[in-house]
């Protein structure tokens, strides 16, 4: 049992909310989630793409983003620890955000043990290895020097560049085969092997919510894929009995 009434202890996982001021209904759903369901959890893990994009921690000054930051800080005030793994949209989230929101930034992938289970968490984009154009782009923008010079530009310039990139990304995605925008099974197996075969692997990014029972070198592993929040908010709830996907009201 958790310390929160007689509800069994559980942990929540979310990803791919893509919060932005132009989709206010999703932000409202997120705020309700943070003020209600999340306050009854033992912890909350955000597995990337919380924001539509993040151009640098000065974004905290934006009215919409500030509400999101305050929702995290309020959850911390309520005693619920919150952890964050970067997505491909918000990998520029840094210490400015984490200290204001009082979330702990984790590396990707992140290993942990919850309710006696060995778990691996990731955003998931690094596993889409068949998407060569994306992986080349990813390698470039995850470089520390590249990020330093990008962040040295004024915020408005960065945002304009990201908008241009978004347009290009959407165009390219419309030509790419669906299969190359999913995780590559060998990349998944390699990751699980390198992390001593966790019982559960949870990730987002592909927007293909599902559970896959896989076997790697004789080890049975559940791969849980989180859903996005474009049409409907959702989360994954883990307790001592296992994982359960939850659609939000």
**CB-neighbour burial class of residue 112 (10 A; exposed 0-12, middle 13-18, buried 19+):** middle
**Beta strand spans in the chain (E):** 10-14, 43-46, 82-85, 104-106, 110-114, 117-122, 200-203, 210-216, 219-225, 234-239, 242-247
Identity of the residue, 134 or 201, whose beta carbon is nearer to ligand LP5 in the bound complex: 134
Q: Is 234 in the site for Mn ion (CB under 5 A)?
A: no
| Cα 77 from Cα 99, distance rounded (Å) | 13
Q: State in angstroms the smallest separation of the CB of 125 from ligand LP5.
A: 6
Q: State in angstroms the smallest separation of the CB of 205 from Mn ion.
A: 4
Q: State in angstroms the smallest separation of the CB of 115 from ligand LP5.
A: 31
Identity of the residue, 6 or 140, whose beta carbon is nearer to ligand LP5 in the bound complex: 140
By CB under 6 A, name the one of 65, 89, 123, 223 that touches ligand LP5: 89
Identity of the residue, 10 or 223, whose beta carbon is nearer to ligand LP5 in the bound complex: 223
By CB under 6 A, name the one of 8, 141, 157, 160 that touches ligand LP5: 141
Q: Is 87 in the site for Mn ion (CB under 5 A)?
A: yes
| Cα 49 from Cα 148, distance rounded (Å) | 21
Q: Is 113 in the site for ligand LP5 (CB under 6 A)?
A: no
Q: Is 53 in the site for ligand LP5 (CB under 6 A)?
A: yes
- Cis ω for the linkage preceding 134 (within 30 of 0): no
Phi, psi at 113, each rounded to 5°: -120, 125
Return the residues of window 68-87 that contact ligand LP5 according to CB under 6 A.
none
Q: Is 240 in the site for ligand LP5 (CB under 6 A)?
A: no
Own/partner pairs for 213-217, CB < 8 Å, 24+ apart? 214/185, 214/188, 214/189, 216/189, 216/192, 217/189, 217/193
Pick from ligand LP5, Mn ion, none: which does 26 bind, CB < 5 to 8 A by kind?
none
Q: Is 206 in the site for Mn ion (CB under 5 A)?
A: no
Q: Is 59 in the site for ligand LP5 (CB under 6 A)?
A: no
Q: What is the CA radius of gyration of the chain?
A: 18
Cβ 192 vs Cβ 121: under 8 Å: no
By CB under 5 A, name the one of 42, 49, 52, 57 that touches Mn ion: 49
List residues binding Mn ion (CB under 5 A): 49, 87-88, 205
């Amino acid at each position: 049992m958790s310390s929160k009434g007689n509800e069994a202890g559980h942990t929540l996982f979310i990803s791919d909310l893509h919060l932005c001021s132009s989709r206010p209904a999703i932000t409202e759903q997120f705020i309700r989630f943070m003020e209600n369901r999340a306050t009854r959890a033992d912890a909350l893990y955000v597995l990337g793409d919380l924001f539509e994009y993040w151009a640098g921690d000065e974004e905290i000054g934006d009215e919409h983003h500030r509400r999101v930051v305050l929702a995290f800080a309020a959850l911390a005030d309520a005693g619920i620890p919150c952890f964050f793994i970067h997505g491909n949209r918000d990998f520029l989230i840094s210490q400015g955000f984490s200290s204001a929101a009082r979330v702990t930034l984790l590396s990707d992938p992140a290993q942990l043990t919850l309710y006696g289970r060995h778990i691996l968490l990731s955003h998931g984009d690094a596993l889409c290895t068949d998407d060569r154009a994306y992986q080349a782009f990813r390698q470039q923008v995850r470089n520390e020097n590249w990020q330093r010079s990008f962040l040295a530009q004024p915020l408005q310039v960065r945002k304009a560049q990201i908008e241009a990139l978004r347009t290009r990304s959407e165009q390219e995605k419309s030509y790419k085969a669906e299969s190359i925008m999913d995780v590559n099974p060998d990349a998944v197996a390699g990751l699980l092997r390198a992390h001593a075969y966790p019982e559960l692997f949870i990730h987002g990014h592909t927007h293909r919510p599902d559970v896959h029972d896989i076997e790697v070198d004789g080890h049975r592993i559940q791969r849980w894929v989180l859903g996005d929040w474009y049409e409907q908010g959702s989360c994954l709830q883990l307790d001592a009995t296992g994982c359960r996907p939850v659609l939000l009201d």
